[in-house]
Structure 1
Amino acid sequence: MNIHVPRGTEDLLPETAKKWQAIEEQLIHLAQIYHYKEIRTPMFERTELFQRSVGDSTDIVQKEMYTFQDRGGRSLTLRPEGTASVARAYVQHKIHGSPEQPTKLYYMGPMFRYERPQQGRTRQFTQFGIEAIGSAHPAIDAEVMAFAMACYQSLGLKSLKLVINSLGDKESREAHRNALVDHFTPVKDELCQDCQNRLEQNPLRLLDCKVDRDHEAMKTAPSILDYLNEESSRYFEHVKKHLDAMGIDYVVDDTLVRGLDYYTHTAFEIMSEADGFGSITTLSGGGRYNGLIEELGGPDISGIGFALSIERLIMAIEAEGIELEYDETVDCYVIAIGEDAKYTASNVVYQLRKDGIKTDQDYLDKKMKGQFKAADRIGAAYVCIIGEDEVNQGVANVKNQQSGEQKTVQIKDISTEIKAGF
């Protein structure tokens, strides 16, 4: 019986995993530059957390969550996104009491959604995201968007578009909600079943529908920007001014709503404009969530964040033909000739590794010629040759593969010679 990975998941073999490692290292490096600290949360949470934060009317909660009961009868859910868990941890551990504010956090790990597997969408996927909690200043909105753009630009991507919108505060959203209900009610029966339900539960989500996006009513729907009150409008203008000051290009799209209920004010997405990327061009998205912390039992503190899919990031890298750089070199390959030499070789390999030198040796009892071929195959910078005579004399022959120079070196001095780069 052949057992394969579950549908919507994949194995990352070494050739692919090295791309992930290069990307993850760069993302973590950026987080440090922007002064964000790592947080790690459980891969499953109480189901109520996502119902309250993401929203009962969202596709994620209604259709896509992996929810199960544990042996104690508690309803648990594999996390479908990262913000809710970070917000829960922020409240639970009273991080708002820290003198270092705003709290700037990043996370990276697997998320789970039951959706139709397709290119760039899997049921287990990996997100990198940041959250800045504790500031309602428009400058930090711009910082988060700058960070998001830097994640792609630092890896060489150029065909990018930043799209922004304002969803306004509670008052603005309510006014826009009423306008949407009035606009769509006369054509309700012409809409898909999901949109008919959304009209009752969360009309703003109609604007994100993929089924009815070409309906005439969608094209003439009321714009949220026409319903922003003075405070919301002023906030959005300040956000744009900060982006302008940074020299970051953006496009305002009043139909951008994002898929989660907790968003308020600033919402944004980054899209790929690379040829051949595919029909789903969104790479990442995020926005401000001013009521989420309070909804989860914390103080009335605002936050903003974004998340990107590493799977889609890799797709964008491949679409633009970017070659990532990897360091797969091996510093030294130890060649043993004879039974006693193998024991000495194991000791040498162990000591070299302790000294921080990337080292390997033969484990297949190859002849000397085969061991030299193995050293060439992995690109070893040096080979260390140990035979019976070398064992008796406590030395090894160390060869610089590039220059061809070879030295007889005391075994205790091999690390020093290799690091000196003779």
Structure 2
Amino acid sequence: MIQKPRGTQDIYEQKSKQYNALEKTIIDVLKTYNLNEIRTPIFEAKELFVRSVGETSDVVSKEMYEFLDKKGREFVLRPEGTAPVVRSLIENKLYAQEYLPLKLYYVGPMFRYERPQTGRYRQFEQIGVELLGVDSVYQDLEIIGMLDSIVQALKISTQVELDINYLVTGEQRQIYIQALKKYLLTFNDLCADCTIRIQKNPLRALDCKIDAKKFNACPQMADYLTPSDQARMQMILSAAQKIGLKTNINQNLVRGLDYYTGLIFELKYLSKSLGSQSTIIAGGRYNDLVEDLNGPALPAIGFAMGVERLIWILEENQINLGHDDALDLYFIVINQQAMESTLELMRDLRNHGFKVELDFLNRSLKSNFKQAEKNHAKNIIVLGDKEIQTQTLIVKNQITNTQTEIAMTDLTKFMKAGQ
């Protein structure tokens, strides 16, 4: 038997409904912030991620699914969503003033060759937000407000906390990196990756899955921030606390991608059930990325969230997002001569937006009623010779436990009246 690849999953029936409900809930929130959807290819040039995410990042150095096409060009299955959005912005000249500020969201699969564990798959669904064209603390505050709106809509606001940091930028960044490098060189027991990172990109060491916990006494970024950056960070922190988000300053937070500048954050699930995968939403400001990819100087901020981890949290807390997957009407046809008339009735109902079904497997009457119950049918109609001869129907309302006899031609009208 051929099986699915390790680190992937088949999503169907109830699980698929959970995904749809979750994504709809979040997208509805994003639309209240006037965001529009963008869809980018599922594979991109390898160079895009090497230049944006960073050659020394785990994503690029260890986790990308790479392949050559028939002309020998290097492509990868996209491991994250921000770089493709920026590539699209540059290629399609969405930086023109008529498009700015550009407020986008995306939904789709990402791919990373990682060890599968709770909340982590090699193919995973991600929802992301990218706001481009504005460098303002007030937009930073809007992003924080967006995080709060999402966790409120998902009914998990009391079960999360926000870790934030402010990355050193400009001239101060190089001064900080030198101080950090000097500190890291005092260790003689670092992993092989960190030994390389010290020379190539010392900030990456702070995100190391093996050694990061050792660096409790490393130089503090806050000590290297300019007065204006310190003031901006304080405004963001105060705003997050004001709206009720439990917030912590994490001086060692750097995120795993090289393009971040200034504000960065991780929204974490407080329960220990997800273990090391407790981060459910993460992102920050990346003011230099558009220019780094040969576009104009265009500031930006964004975040992404893993759908699988959010699904896990909803299931663990038995949270129902309120989606109604019940059938409006279930037909039980006990005479095949009635099938044609039933299909005509169903087609008209569906054209008016009703969710209807019937049994094509010739089950017994008892089995059909069980099937209707399984589908949470609100109404049931049994249709046979008598109904065809009299052109009447008896609608059995499963919620009120009542029966109503109507003319067959009035079915759609009757259903609309009951909405």
* TM-score normalised by length of structure 1: 0.94
Taking structure 1 as reference, are residues 183 and 373 closer, same or farther at Cα in structure 2, changes over 3 Å only? closer
Query: Is 134-143 or 319-328 further displaced after alignment?
Result: 319-328
Cα deviation, residue 406, structure 1: 2.9
- 1:48 alignment counterpart: 47
- 1:174 alignment counterpart: 174
Taking structure 1 as reference, are residues 210 and 377 closer, same or farther at Cα in structure 2, changes over 3 Å only? closer
Match of 2:365 among 351, 364, 368: 368
Structure 2 counterparts to residues 204-219 of structure 1, below 5 A: 204-215=203-214, 218-219=215-216
Cα deviation, residue 147, structure 1: 1.4
Taking structure 1 as reference, are residues 244 and 374 closer, same or farther at Cα in structure 2, changes over 3 Å only? closer
The one-letter code sitting in structure 2 at the alignment partner of 1:334 is: F
The one-letter code sitting in structure 2 at the alignment partner of 1:237 is: Q
- 1:3 alignment counterpart: 2
Structure 2 counterparts to residues 176-195 of structure 1, below 5 A: 176-187=176-187, 189-195=188-194
- Which secondary structure state, in structure 2, belongs to the residue aligned with residue 99 of structure 1? helix
- Which secondary structure state, in structure 2, belongs to the residue aligned with residue 95 of structure 1? coil
Taking structure 1 as reference, are residues 244 and 273 closer, same or farther at Cα in structure 2, changes over 3 Å only? closer
For 1:254 and 1:404, the matched residues in 2 are separated by 61
For 2:270 and 2:402, the matched residues in 1 are separated by 51
8 Å CA contact retained: 1:138, 1:242 = no
- 2:121 alignment counterpart: 122
For 2:395 and 2:315, the matched residues in 1 are separated by 40
Structure 2: gaps spanning 5 or more residues: none
For 1:273 and 1:387, the matched residues in 2 are separated by 57
The one-letter code sitting in structure 2 at the alignment partner of 1:114 is: Y
8 Å CA contact retained: 1:44, 1:79 = yes
Q: How many positions carry a matched residue from both structures?
A: 418
8 Å CA contact retained: 2:77, 2:110 = yes
Is 1:414 the counterpart of 2:411? The answer is yes
Deviation track 1:120-169 (CA, whole Å, cap 9, x = no partner) reads 11100111110110110011112112212332232111211111111022
Taking structure 1 as reference, are residues 284 and 405 closer, same or farther at Cα in structure 2, changes over 3 Å only? closer
Taking structure 1 as reference, are residues 73 and 229 closer, same or farther at Cα in structure 2, changes over 3 Å only? same
- 1:381 alignment counterpart: 378
Match of 2:333 among 336, 339, 342: 336
For 2:317 and 2:358, the matched residues in 1 are separated by 38
* TM-score normalised by length of structure 2: 0.94
Structure 2 counterparts to residues 161-310 of structure 1, below 5 A: 161-187=161-187, 189-215=188-214, 218-244=215-241, 246-310=243-307
Deviation track 1:219-275 (CA, whole Å, cap 9, x = no partner) reads 211111111123433332343344355454421111111111000000111111125
Deviation track 1:43-78 (CA, whole Å, cap 9, x = no partner) reads 100111001110111110000001111011111111
The one-letter code sitting in structure 1 at the alignment partner of 2:171 is: E
Taking structure 1 as reference, are residues 159 and 246 closer, same or farther at Cα in structure 2, changes over 3 Å only? closer
Deviation track 1:378-415 (CA, whole Å, cap 9, x = no partner) reads 22222223222322343323222333433332222101
The one-letter code sitting in structure 2 at the alignment partner of 1:379 is: H
The one-letter code sitting in structure 2 at the alignment partner of 1:128 is: I
Taking structure 1 as reference, are residues 245 and 405 closer, same or farther at Cα in structure 2, changes over 3 Å only? closer
- 1:316 alignment counterpart: 313
For 1:5 and 1:269, the matched residues in 2 are separated by 31
8 Å CA contact retained: 1:148, 1:306 = no
Is 1:347 the counterpart of 2:350? The answer is no
The one-letter code sitting in structure 1 at the alignment partner of 2:111 is: F
For 2:335 and 2:176, the matched residues in 1 are separated by 82
8 Å CA contact retained: 1:335, 1:345 = no
Taking structure 1 as reference, are residues 340 and 178 closer, same or farther at Cα in structure 2, changes over 3 Å only? same
Aligned-residue CA RMSD (Å): 1.9
The one-letter code sitting in structure 1 at the alignment partner of 2:98 is: P
% of aligned pairs identical? 39
- 1:402 alignment counterpart: 399
- Which secondary structure state, in structure 1, belongs to the residue aligned with residue 155 of structure 2? coil
The one-letter code sitting in structure 1 at the alignment partner of 2:413 is: T
- Which secondary structure state, in structure 1, belongs to the residue aligned with residue 139 of structure 2? helix
Structure 1: gaps spanning 5 or more residues: none
For 1:258 and 1:59, the matched residues in 2 are separated by 11
For 1:316 and 1:397, the matched residues in 2 are separated by 43
Deviation track 1:188-247 (CA, whole Å, cap 9, x = no partner) reads x421110011001110111111212343xx121111111112343333234334435545
Taking structure 1 as reference, are residues 406 and 86 closer, same or farther at Cα in structure 2, changes over 3 Å only? same
The one-letter code sitting in structure 2 at the alignment partner of 1:294 is: E
8 Å CA contact retained: 1:164, 1:268 = yes
Is 1:90 the counterpart of 2:65? The answer is no
8 Å CA contact retained: 1:142, 1:239 = yes
